[in-house]
Amino acid sequence: MAAIIHRLLQRLLRTFARRVLFRYHPTVVGVSGSVGKTSTVQAIALVLGSLDSLRVSPKNYNNELGVPLAVLGQVSGLRSPLRWLGVLLDGVGQGWGVRRRYPARLVLELGVDKPGDMAYLVEFLQPKIGVVTAVSAVHLATMKTVAAVAAEKGRLVSALPADGTAVLNADEPLVAAMAKRTKARVITYGMSEGAQLRAIDVRSTYGTDAENRLHGGIACTARFKEETAPLSLPNVLGEAMLYAPLAAVAVGVAEGMRLRDAVAAVSSYQPPPGRLRLVPGIKRSAIIDDSYNSSPSAAAAAVRLLDSVPSGAGQKFAVLGDMLELGRITGRAHRELGALVAASRTDILVAVGELSRDIARGAREAGMPEERVFTFGDAAAAGRFLQDRLEPGDVLLVKGSQGVRMERVVKELMAEPQRAEELLVRQSPEWRR
């Protein structure tokens, strides 16, 4: 019965969303990729919001129910039939009732976890601009190979009209290759020489605050054709986090903005909660909170970031949870991540979850001493252990897939737990269980 209701709700929401899009004709910007979708949506919102009225995907409304809800400007009714009835009645009103003010642009996160998902979304959205951030080993339990993931995400690019624009990460070969799948204009972005919009002279800046905690940022020069503009992001850690603002600037250029104006608009960007965000920790420690989700490539990038930050007087902790939905590569991917930790300047590895035991195993096999490797079944236990181990000046990286709930480690160790709703992911009532 529940499955029937879900399918009916899905069809109704798609019908209402299609009608609203036909009625108001907003420019639709679709953002997809294995990592960085939400960060990129938020960065694009800063740039395009300086031009005209705008609506972005709330939270992670990126699937067959969430995307139509974002189009309608509604939130999920969760388990309440009355709330869902209100959503549906409002959809009827928007589509067929008195005309309302509607945003000129929609910036929508498009998630896919099985074949056919992207085709379903782009069929009624008909995006004008498509952004693809990266392709990596995620959702392999349903899509089997990374090539299949790339093929599914590439449907966004294939669906663009001839007068549209594909914005593609030039530093990701599987993404850059999608340029062949479209008749639309292509703008590539990245740090490699082949990128049309390129970040050059990239430099990280680190220091300590009044309590000797780590703080940092990143700066570069953005170059597009003959134009350059300095870009400074004081609250952004690591080169990997430059891709979201670069993609946003590329979208701004696609919409006719001058480079310097797009760069100025994105300069206030900071990552969303749980995406390589610095959070003050107890005992004057610093937490690199990357607890939103995890995949092999993203986890490796986070470990390299931890390796690059100044150690100061404290130790470096890699607190790593399970990486889910990896299918047949699960064990190997976790062991390889452990080996990477062992090769880095990480002092302590804390592995959280059943699958993460392979992270610990990989680290030990690569030479990390036994007394520096710890395993825990859940995030709460790891958090309690770390409370007793932390010292002033320590830096912790916290990362894991959503199902491991690694934000609980951060909440246990943050200096201001009363700010958890503001600073951490998954703090809304539906996640409190």
pLDDT tens by residue, the chain, 433 residues:
688 889 999 999 999 999 999 999 999 999 999 989 999 999 999 999 999 999 999 878 999 999 999 999 999 998 899 999 999 999 999 999 999 999 999 999 999 989 999 999 999 999 999 999 999 877 777 887 989 999 999 999 999 999 999 999 999 999 999 999 999 999 999 999 999 999 999 999 888 777 777 888 999 999 999 999 999 999 899 899 999 999 999 999 999 999 999 999 999 999 999 999 999 999 999 999 999 999 999 999 999 999 999 877 799 999 999 999 898 999 999 999 999 999 999 999 999 999 999 999 999 999 999 999 999 999 999 999 999 999 999 999 999 999 999 999 999 999 999 999 999 999 987 777 5
Question: Phi-psi region for residue 201, left (φ > 0), alpha (ψ -120 to 50) or beta?
Answer: left
3-state SS assignment for residue 181: helix
Gap between the Cα atoms of 339 and 319, Å rounded: 14
Cα 99 from chain centroid? 34
Four-point Cα dihedral 194, 197, 203, 206, nearest 10:
-130
Prediction pTM value: 0.90
Please say whether the beta carbons of 75 and 69 come within 8 A.
yes
Question: DSSP per residue over 97-165, as a string?
Answer: SS-----SEEEEE---SSTTHHHHHHHHH--SEEEE----S-SHHHH-SHHHHHHHHTHHHHT--TTSE
The answer to whether the Cα torsion of 194, 198, 202, 204 is positive or negative is negative
Domains of the chain: 2-193 (3.40.1190.10), 277-424 (3.90.190.20)
